[in-house]
Homo-oligomer: A and B are copies of this chain.
Amino acid sequence: MQLGMIGLGKMGGNMARRLRRAGLQVVGYDHSGSEVESLAAESGLVAAESLQALVDKLDTPRVVWLMLPAGDITEANVRELQGLLQPGDVLVDGANSFYKDSMRRGELLAESGIHFIDAGVSGGVWGLDNGYALMVGGSDEAFAAVQPIIEALAPATDQGWIHAGPVGSGHFVKMIHNGIEYGMMQAYAEGFALMKGRDDFGLDLAAIAETWRHGSVVRSWLLDLTADVLAGDQHLEDVEPFVADSGEGRWTALESIEQGIPTPVMSLALMTRFASQGQQDYSSKLLAMMRNQFGGHAVRSAGD
């Protein structure tokens, strides 16, 4: 089994390593040529110096896996590969792409006879050793062509992957997965904040997290990671209270609105990240001024 992997960063690089460990042939390309060379030397991956070279090094029908940032970069690569691939080839997008973009790309590539697979990949930097959870959308025919790759990336050949449905369904399920992740992370964070706030008990937050990992109802892999964080530093004084969001949370909130099905917790977890980014500041300023206006309450000046 052979595939081309485009994008050899944190995710793509480790996925290539895991596929090499499983004995698959991997032709790799990355915009950083040095990344490709070092991975080739380490893992026996075949380095390609361009998309064209990668395509040329693969036997037909080809399987090419994109592991690039979602959005413009993935879009540009899909369009370039549409010109390089042949009918019957399979193009897989493993990024956290918006599922409606994937549906559109599936239709676009179908015009050239190229199969499209959208694969949501979970597991982060731990996937190399633990395996990745894979949520895959595409036709039965295209899925059959990539199934050996999916099975090699997953924690076990019969575990942790699903052919969810047609093109788009893989990224849809991954989007929901990440939306749930937003809510879970926020719940843990709020709980630890209340324990930190109750300082008269002298609680050891690291020890509590460690305790909860064993036998408690809230045990989870996210709690395992949280326990590691708190074991290293439970005061977090050097961490800025800024939480980025990466698209999946927003799309989940949009899906809720489109379907008219409420997702209060997932949506508010997203809004809370916006607030952490300073985007609640204007409304807070305005509220302070309103209180001043009707009650004469003091307003703090920004320079104080």
**Chain A residues within CB distance 8 Å of chain B:** 122-124, 127, 130-135, 137, 154-156, 159-162, 164-166, 168-169, 172-173, 176-184, 186-188, 190-195, 197-198, 201-204, 207-208, 211-223, 252, 255-256, 259, 261-266, 268-269, 271-272
Contacts of A201 in B (CB 8 A): 137, 164-166, 168-169, 172
Q: A133-B214, A269-B265 are in contact. Are A162 and B220 (CB under 8 A)?
A: no
Counting from the closest, the 9 A-B pairs by CB-CB distance are A183-B187, A220-B220, A160-B214, A133-B216, A180-B191, A133-B215, A190-B263, A160-B215, A162-B211
Contacts of A186 in B (CB 8 A): 183, 264-265
- Which of B193, B204, B215 contacts A132, CB < 8 Å? B215
Contacts of A216 in B (CB 8 A): 122-123, 133, 160, 177, 221
Expressed in whole angstroms, the minimum distance between the Cβ of A79 and any Cβ of chain B is 25
Q: Indicate if the CB atoms of B127 and A215 lie closer than 8 Å.
A: yes
Expressed in whole angstroms, the minimum distance between the Cβ of A238 and any Cβ of chain B is 20
A25 to B284, CA, bound (A): 60
Q: A169-B203, A190-B183 are in contact. Are A211 and B265 (CB under 8 A)?
A: no
Q: Indicate if the CB atoms of B218 and A180 lie closer than 8 Å.
A: yes
A96 to B212, CA, bound (A): 16
This protein's copies in its complex? 2
A154 to B214, CA, bound (A): 8
Q: Of all chain B residues, which has the CB nearest A267?
A: B190
Q: Indicate if the CB atoms of B220 and A219 lie closer than 8 Å.
A: yes
- Which of B137, B181, B218 contacts A218, CB < 8 Å? B181
5 contacts between A and B (CB under 8 A): A165-B201, A183-B265, A217-B222, A264-B269, A264-B271
Contacts of A161 in B (CB 8 A): 211
A184 to B223, CA, bound (A): 11
Expressed in whole angstroms, the minimum distance between the Cβ of A87 and any Cβ of chain B is 26
Q: Indicate if the CB atoms of B122 and A215 lie closer than 8 Å.
A: yes
